[in-house]
Amino acid sequence: MIGFDYGTSNCAVGTMVDSKPELLSLAGHGQYIPSTLYAPSREVIVNWLYQQLSETEQVNFKSQRLRQLQKGQSMLRELALDGIDGDLAFGQAALSAYLDEPDEGYYIKSPKSFLGASGLMPQQIALFEDVVAAMMANVKQLAEQSLQREIEQAVIGRPINFQGLRGEESNRQAIEVLTNAAKRVGFKHVEFQFEPVAAGFEYESCLAKETKVLVVDIGGGTTDCSMLLMGPEYTKLTDRSAHLLGHSGVRVGGNDFDIQLALKGLMPSFGLDSLLKSGKPMPSNSFWQAMAINNINEQTEFYSSSNYRYLEQLQRDAQQPELIARLLNLHENKLSYRIVNGAEQGKIALTDNEQTQVELFDIDEQLMVELKRSLILTSAHRELQNITEVMHEAIEQAQCQPDVVFVTGGTAKSPVLSQFLKQQMPNSRLVVGDHFGSVTAGLTRWAQRLFS
32-45 tens-digit pLDDT: 999 999 999 999 99
pLDDT at 22: 95
Chain length of the chain: 452
Cα–Cα dist 323/364, whole Å: 10
Q: pLDDT class for 442, splitting at 50, 70, 90?
A: very high
End-to-end CA distance of the chain: 9
Residue 131 one-letter amino acid: V
To 5 degrees, how large is the angle CA 232–CA 237–CA 240?
95
3-state secondary structure 233-279: HHCCCCCCHHHEEEEEEECCCHHHHHHHHHHHHHHHHHCCCCEECCC
pLDDT of residue 251: 84
Where does residue 300 rank: exposed (0-12), middle (13-18), buried (19+ CB within 10 A)? exposed
* Local structure of 190: helix, strand or coil: strand
Q: What is the pLDDT of residue 164?
A: 54
Using the Cα atoms of residue 144, residue 148, residue 150 and residue 151 in order, give the sign of their dihedral.
negative
Q: H helices then E strands: how many in the chain? A: 16, 16
pLDDT value for 219: 84
CB neighbour list of residue 76: distance below 8 Å, 6 or more residues apart = 44, 47, 86
Domain coordinates in residue numbering, the chain? 210-253+381-433, 255-379
pLDDT of residue 163: 65
DSSP state of 292: -
The yes-or-no verdict on residue 166 having pLDDT over 80 is no
For CA atoms 379, 101, 299, 67, the dihedral sign is: negative
Q: What is the pLDDT of residues 9-67, one digit of tens each?
A: 899 999 999 889 999 999 989 999 999 999 999 999 999 999 999 999 999 999 999 99
- The distance of Cα 286 from the centroid of its chain, to the nearest Å, equals 23
**pLDDT per position as a tens digit, 223-246:** 999 999 999 999 888 898 999 999
The string of pLDDT tens digits covering residues 94-137 is 999 998 888 889 999 888 888 888 888 899 999 999 999 999 99
Span 397-434, pLDDT tens digits: 999 999 999 998 877 778 888 888 888 888 899 888 77
Q: How far apart are CA 147 and CA 289, in angstroms?
A: 43
CA distance 409 to 12: 13
Whether the pLDDT of residue 165 is over 70: the answer is no
pLDDT digits (tens, 9 = 90+) for 265-302: 999 999 999 999 999 999 999 999 999 998 878 999 99
Mean of per-residue pLDDT scores for the chain: 93
Residues 372-401: what's their mean pLDDT? 93
Residue 424 vs residue 190, higher pLDDT: 190
Residue 161 has a pLDDT of: 84
For a pLDDT cut of 90, what percent of the chain falls above it?
76
Q: Choose the CATH number for 210-253+381-433 among 3.30.420.40, 3.40.50.1360, 3.30.230.10, 3.40.30.10.
A: 3.30.420.40
CA–CA separation, 93 vs 97, rounded Å?
6
| Residue 10, SS3 per DSSP | strand
